């Protein structure tokens, strides 16, 4: 897919067909995360990629709106170190957001749907994923081929109007 098409086609996909994601495609999505820009190139992220059905079903319990993780073909857990410093935390969150959207666009480019899931139950996430105590799971990215319709550019996305969002030269 063209980059511009992938940007316009990406949407949250929460219902997946049974088709597996090939290991090569999954690695390409992860590689997009690894290549993402970060503040001072600190790369303060780790990715745990999960494909075992029983694990995915348990992982789906970390948040009430994470149910789609259970039926995903694979889910990437985005992990980062905990910090008490608010500025550092903000900076890490920003970088994680960039890595997340890079991976989602790489997925869209392959026709693979992706769906965010927040993580509320950090203890459960740690028990399942095994990351160290001073790390937390910031987000889950569920992946799978869309069950409803293939990804294609969305003509009228559910977004604020362009002229309301964009300010030229001055607010
Ligand atoms: C930080 C963040 C957390 C999100 N958490 C969830 C979630 O827990 N469950 C879910 O179904 N969608 C979640 N979403 C998806 C948003 O609801 C979705 O991106 C938004 O409604 C726009 O829809 P679109 O992605 O289809 O364009 C999350 C998105 C972001 C950026």
Q: Are 115 and 15 within 8 A, CB to CB? A: no
**Looking at the chain, how many residues does it have?**
171
Burial class from Cβ neighbours inside 10 Å (0-12, 13-18, 19+) for residue 41 reads exposed
Give me the tens of pLDDT residue by residue for the chain, a chain 171 residues long. 799 999 999 999 999 999 999 999 999 999 999 999 999 999 999 999 999 999 999 999 999 999 999 999 999 999 999 999 999 999 999 999 999 999 999 999 999 999 999 999 999 999 999 999 999 999 999 999 999 999 999 999 999 999 999 999 999
* Closest C-alpha residue for ligand 1 atom 14: 116
Global pTM value: 0.97
Q: Are strands 46-50 and 113-117 parallel, antiparallel or unpaired?
A: unpaired
Does the Cβ of 3 fall within 6 Å of ligand 1?
A: no
For ligand 1, the distance from its centroid to the CA atom of residue 115, given in whole angstroms, is 7
**φ and ψ of 91, to 5 deg:** -65, -45
With both helix axes pointing from N to C terminus, report the angle between 86-109 and 23-34 in degrees, rounded to the nearest 10.
140
């Amino acid at each position: 897919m063209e980059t511009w098409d992938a940007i316009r086609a990406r949407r949250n996909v929460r219902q997946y067909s049974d088709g597996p994601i090939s290991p090569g495609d999954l690695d390409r999505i992860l590689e997009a995360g690894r290549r993402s820009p970060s503040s001072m190139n600190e790369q303060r992220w780790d990715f745990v990629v999960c494909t075992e059905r029983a694990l995915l079903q348990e992982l789906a319990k970390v948040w009430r709106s994470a149910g789609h993780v259970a039926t995903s073909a694979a889910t990437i857990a985005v992990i980062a170190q905990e910090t008490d410093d608010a500025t550092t935390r903000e900076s890490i969150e920003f970088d994680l957001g960039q890595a997340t959207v890079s991976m989602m666009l790489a997925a869209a480019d392959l026709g693979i749907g992706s769906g965010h899931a927040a993580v509320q139950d950090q203890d459960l996430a740690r028990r399942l994923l095994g990351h160290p105590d001073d790390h937390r799971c910031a987000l889950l990215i569920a992946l799978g081929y869309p069950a409803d319709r293939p990804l294609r550019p969305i003509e009228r996305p559910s977004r604020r109007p362009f002229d309301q969002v964009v300010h030229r030269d001055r607010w």
